[in-house]
Chains A and B, each alone.
Chain A
Amino acid sequence: MQKKYLIGKKAVVLLLIPALILISVFLIFPAIWVLKLGMTNETLTGIKAREPDFVGFENFSRVFSDRFFYNALKISLLFVFGSAIVGQAGLGMILALLTYRRSRRLKTIVQSIVILAWIIPEVVVAYLWIAFLDKDFGTLNVTLSWLGFEKINWFYNHPILTIVLFNTWRGTAYSMLLFSAALETIPPSYLETADIIGTTSWRKFKDIVLPNIKGYIFTDFILITLWTFNVFTPYLLTGGGPSFKTELLPIYIYRNAFKYFKIGYGSAISTIVLLINLLLAIFYITLSRRKKT
């Protein structure tokens, strides 16, 4: 017998169309159009705004010989490695382990605090961190001087460390939640047995926990890399400065397209960022599909 559907073909089309139009126009089309824009010398003002020429791959070859591009790429890579892989995943794992097999109350309190940092709107977070790191009155420096350390001008002397710390604070929640969920999948008997033999914590982590949640860690790495690579918030904190030391790729795009009005050139950089995103996304989807089957 043929399977009976709840809705007819006409209804299917009618119900899908509004979502598909919106997604096609505002999500899929820009991603494809950016490639064409990147091959023109379009600007936001002037003659080239009205009649841009087709320049082929000229923008791309210019991007690859632009030292600001390599500067931005290097900072983006440092930012992703420092704040996503080491910071968020590392701290997320520590927090997940510290609340694992502990009381529900402790878990709720810890998670709520970390999640709070995740959900506060980014503009507010930027203000919080400007206040937190202020050279003279910031909580961090005041605490440091109480402990007998010298006050540090974070934004000026350690710009990359500043945005790395900031983004670790901001994004740890996701890794913490994912790893907490992953730990719950380990059969309790494994760790109970280890407890009875008196295994050290490190051995338990290395021989029982790690092998059991490897897949989750990998998933987490890809996702937070993708997200961190696409973060714009440090702009609100440092504006890309001092002297381009925190200019991530997204900020570099912004500067070229909207401060120098070079739409074609900005599109060429955007295309490169989109391609990197594409690689990460394909990696992620293939991985999660393989897990399902």
Chain B
Amino acid sequence: MKDPRRMSKITNYIILTPILAFFVAPILWLLVTPFSSRPSLFISISTPTLNNFVRVFHNKTAINAFKNSLIISVGVVLLVTVCALFAAYVLSRHYFKGRDVLLYVLVLFSSIVTGVAAMVPIFMLNLRLGLINKELGVILTIAGGMLPTSIFILRDFFDSIPRTFEEAALVDGSSPLQVMFKIFLPLSSKGIIVVAMLVFAQSWSNFLIPFVLLRSHTKYPVSIAIYTFFTEVGVPDIGMISAYALLYTTPVIVMYFIVERKFGFSFYGGIKG
């Protein structure tokens, strides 16, 4: 018997397989090479070893860059989460004159001012503020760029939390701040954690801002330090680089998939870029 849906199922797989191969192939290198005893650009399966990772952990530059990445990312997360939480709370719970204009301006600027388009003024601004080659400059710049999107995501989340709990507490005589910390925060913790994780992953991956703003090797985060691994003869040290790249990538992937489990990916459609 002819079954058109079964037939189309088979054609489906015939088209899907090469596309998926195209997506998987470059990633294979990252999964195989760090464990290879003779690492090269070719995906070779030789006796597996952890030696490349051991070398990363013994490398001072590598460890220091990890620390720098952590300082930058945690700094951005704290700053963005706290500021966005406050702002989103107001924008979700309070109507004031000019609110729509404010929102419009935020969407507009957050989508047009990218690190790429504004790298020159961002550099000059940090130069004038004395923030070149300082983690603080990198943190403030990345935070400023990520705030609008974070505010929008949180506001959407807050809008879905009913106001009745807060109103009841107000009637009971609690102060607005008490309401915020005792009633509202616990209710919205899930959304805040999700935003914090997305912000962490984004700032952890950021290359351009530290590349433009930082000058000395001791300040470099992983995204830049990873280019400094060469052997004594000046050839890129592929074993180290691949192991380091895998260590660097893992936290981002873990966080994104936790977020995906909780909300689905459509949730943060706007945060890229």
A34 with B118: in contact, given A22-B79, A116-B27, A127-B245 (CB under 8 Å)?
yes
Which of B45-53, B55-63, B107-115 faces chain A?
Answer: B107-115
* Interface of chain B, main secondary structure: helix
Partner of A113, one of B20, B201, B242: B20
- Tell me if A188 counts as interface (CB < 8 A to partner B): no
Q: Contact between B30 and A31 (Cβ–Cβ < 8 Å)? A: no
Q: Nearest chain B CB to A140's CB is how many angstroms away?
A: 7
- Tell me if B141 counts as interface (CB < 8 A to partner A): yes
- Tell me if A20 counts as interface (CB < 8 A to partner B): yes
A34 to B265, CA, bound (A): 35
- Tell me if A266 counts as interface (CB < 8 A to partner B): yes
Q: Contact between B121 and A30 (Cβ–Cβ < 8 Å)? A: yes
- Tell me if B83 counts as interface (CB < 8 A to partner A): yes
B-contacting residues, A190-213, CB 8 Å: 195, 198, 201
What residues on A are CB-neighbors of B227 within 8 Å? 123
Mask: chain B, 140-176; 1 = CB below 8 Å from A; 0 = not: 1101110110010000000000010011001000001
- Tell me if A95 counts as interface (CB < 8 A to partner B): yes
Q: Contact between A267 and B253 (Cβ–Cβ < 8 Å)? A: no
Q: Contact between A285 and B223 (Cβ–Cβ < 8 Å)? A: no
Q: Contact between A121 and B248 (Cβ–Cβ < 8 Å)? A: yes
Mask: chain A, 217-231; 1 = CB below 8 Å from B; 0 = not: 000000000110011
Q: Nearest chain B CB to A284's CB is how many angstroms away?
A: 7
A25 with B30: in contact, given A226-B111, A285-B104 (CB under 8 Å)?
no
A173 to B269, CA, bound (A): 10
Q: Contact between A6 and B167 (Cβ–Cβ < 8 Å)? A: yes
Q: Contact between A12 and B121 (Cβ–Cβ < 8 Å)? A: no
Q: Footprint of A on B, CB under 8 Å? A: 4-5, 8-9, 12, 15-16, 19-20, 22-30, 33, 40-43, 79, 82-84, 86-87, 89-90, 93-96, 104-125, 140-141, 143-145, 147-148, 151, 163, 166-167, 170, 176-177, 179-180, 201, 204-205, 207-208, 212, 222-224, 226-227, 241-242, 245, 248-249, 252-253, 256, 260, 265-266, 269, 272-273
Q: For the complex of A and B, list the 3 residue pairs with the smallest distance between their C-beta atoms, beginning with the closest.
A: A26-B144, A137-B42, A30-B121
Q: Footprint of B on A, CB under 8 Å? A: 3-8, 11-12, 15-16, 18-20, 22-23, 25-31, 33-34, 37, 91, 94-95, 98, 102, 110-111, 113-125, 127-132, 134, 136-140, 142-143, 169, 172-174, 177-178, 181, 195, 198, 201, 226-227, 230-233, 236, 250, 253-254, 257-258, 263, 266-267, 270, 273-274, 277-278, 280-282, 284-285
